[in-house]
Chain A
Amino acid sequence: MDARRKEPTVKRQGATLRLGLLGLAAAAVSLVGAGTAFADYAPQPGDVVGVGGDTPQYALEFGADGDTIGDAGFNASGAYNRLVTFNATADGNGRSAYTNSATTGTASVALNPTDVLRAGTYPVQRVQSSGAGITALLADTNAQEVINFVFSASLPSPAQQTTAANNGWGYLHVVEIGTDSVQIAVDSTATHAPAGLSAADLLGIYTGTYTTWNQLPGNSAGSTDTIIPLIPPSGSSIYKTFIADLTTAHGGTAPVLSASVKTVEQNDPTAITGATTPADAIVPFSAARLALWNDGYFHNPATVFPGSTTALTPGVVLLSGTPGDGTVYDSPITDYVIFRQSDASSTTPFEPGGSRNWVNTLFSNPGGSTPFFGKGAGQALIAAAGVTPLYSDLGDVHS
C-alpha cells in the first residue's frame, strides 16, 4: 500500500519541483536584459544613416548613442527607427586601417576600409572624410536613400549645391552643430617647441625655412635639434584647414611642403609619442579630439573583452603660449550636418505614431519645436564629445 502511494507522491514532488523550477526560471528570465548582442548593425529601411568626416564623427555618435559615463543618446528611447552614424575611421579608437605588412612582406599602405550602410547591400568603401561624405550623398540618387545625411567639417561647394539642385533636391541644407579648432600638438612630457607657434612660424617650418628650433624668430636660445613636422592625410579636414591657414600666411599662395614633412594619421597622439624624437615632433590636431582623449574615452585596444579599465592618456598637449612673432596658431573649424532639402519637407513620419519627419526630429524644424541636436540634451552630448556646441540652422549655404 505504501509502495503504491509512494509513486504518486514522488510524481507530485517531481511536479512540485518542476513547477518551482518553472517559476524560478520565469523569474530568472525576467531578469535577463533586453540588450541582446548582435553583429554589426546594418540599418533597415526607416533608419536614418549618416556618414562623414573624422573630426565631427564623435559628436554625432554621442548624440545618437550617448557617451560612456551614463548619458543617454537619441536612440535610448528605443525608437523603432534609429539614428545610425558610420564613423570615418573603421576603428573605434579613431585609427586608420592599413594593409598587412607582416604577412605580405611589403610595407603597409592605407587600406580602403568598408562598411555596410544598409541591410542587404554589399560592403562599400567607407566614407572617410567630410568631402567624400558630401560627394557620396550627391551620388545617392535612388528614390530609397542609402545615405540620409553627412556630418562634415566643411561646407558644400557652389558646384555641389548646383548638383543637389539638378538632383531635384532643392539644395543641400546645412545645419551647424558645433565648433572645434585646429591647434599644434607636442609631446606632453618634454618638447623643444617654444610655448607657442604662430602661423608664420609654421609656414617656415613646413616649407623648410626653419629646420631647427633655434631658427624660429625670438627663439635663438632654443634647441638645435631638427624639427619633425607631421601632417595628417591630404583628404582630412585638419589638413585642409591647416594648409588653408598656411596659404593665407603665405600671401594667398599654396605652400610647397618640405620633404621633411611626414604624413601621419589624423588626430592620433601616437604620431607624436611614437616619433623618433617626440620632443621635436609637432602636428596640427583637433582640440575636440584631444578633449575626448583627456576625458578618458579611449582605452587600450590591445586588451581583450571586456577591455581595459584604464583609459589611455594622449601624451600630447596643445601649444597655447604667445610665440615670439605673433599670435599662437589656433584655427577655428565648424562641424556641420548636411542633408537634402527635399527630406526636410517630407510628409513621412520618422517614427510610428509620430508626426515629424526625421529632419524635423533631429536637425531642423523651423517654426516647430526644437530638433534633438538643437535642444539642451543634444547639445550636451555634443559637448561631451569635446566639441563646443553651437546650433545654427544655416539652410542653403556653400563655401
Chain B
Amino acid sequence: MTFKKSIISIAFAICMLTGCADSNHWTSSHPLYHKAPYGGIAVTGIENAFVITRSSWFAKRLEIDKDSMQIKGTQHCRKTFEVEMRKSYGNLTVLSDSAIIKFPEESLKLDDRIFIKGHIPEQGVTLKDSTGNEPPVVLILHEFIIGTDLKREDFFDYALIHNESGSIRKPDNVSAIFSYTLWDNLKQRPLFSAVDEIQQPITTYKLANLTNLIQIAVQKIRKNLIAGVDK
C-alpha cells in the first residue's frame, strides 16, 4: 500500500516538475547577478515607457480632458514612479531616454515563448548621467502599459499576441503590465529582466488609485530585483 502511495506521489512530483500546468517564466537572471541594487540606482526609459489604453474610460474617471489624457496621465505616472523609486532607493539618478533611444531595439528572451523588446545599450558603451558619472546599475523601463483587464500573455507570449480580445463592457480590474531590465552599466550586460502584471480591482476610480497602482508596481519591481538574484 505504501508502495502504491509513493508511486502516486512520485508521479505527482514529476508532473509538478515538468509543469503540467502553465509554465511560462516571466523573469530571467544573468548567471553572474549576485547582488541586488541597494541604496542607489539609476533609471531610464521612463519618458516613453508609459502608455494608457482606453483613454476615454480613464479620462471620464480621472476628470481629465480626453485629448490631454495621454500626456497628463503618463506624466502623472512618470512622476509617481520617480518619487516611489526615490523612496525605495534613496539615491536615484534619472537618465533621460535619449541615453538609450539611439541604440537599436532588440528582443530579449525570457522563456521559450516570452520575448521582451527594448533599447539596450551596445556592448562596450557605458551610459553616463548629466554630470558625466557612470552609474553602476541602471533600471531600464521598456514598457509600462495601463489599461483594464489586460493579461501579459496577450502582449508578450508570441503564440498569443495575435489573439483579439472580446470587447468588455464593464471591466473588473485596472491592469498594469510592465517590462524592465536591470542593466550592469560597468560590464554592459542584462542582470535581470522581467515582465510583471498587476490587477487592481475597481470600485471607484480616482487619481489616487492610479498613484497607488504605480506604487504597487515599484514595490513589485524592487521585490523582483531581490528575488532574481542568482545565489
Binding between chains A and B: no
On A, residues with C-beta under 8 Å from B are: none
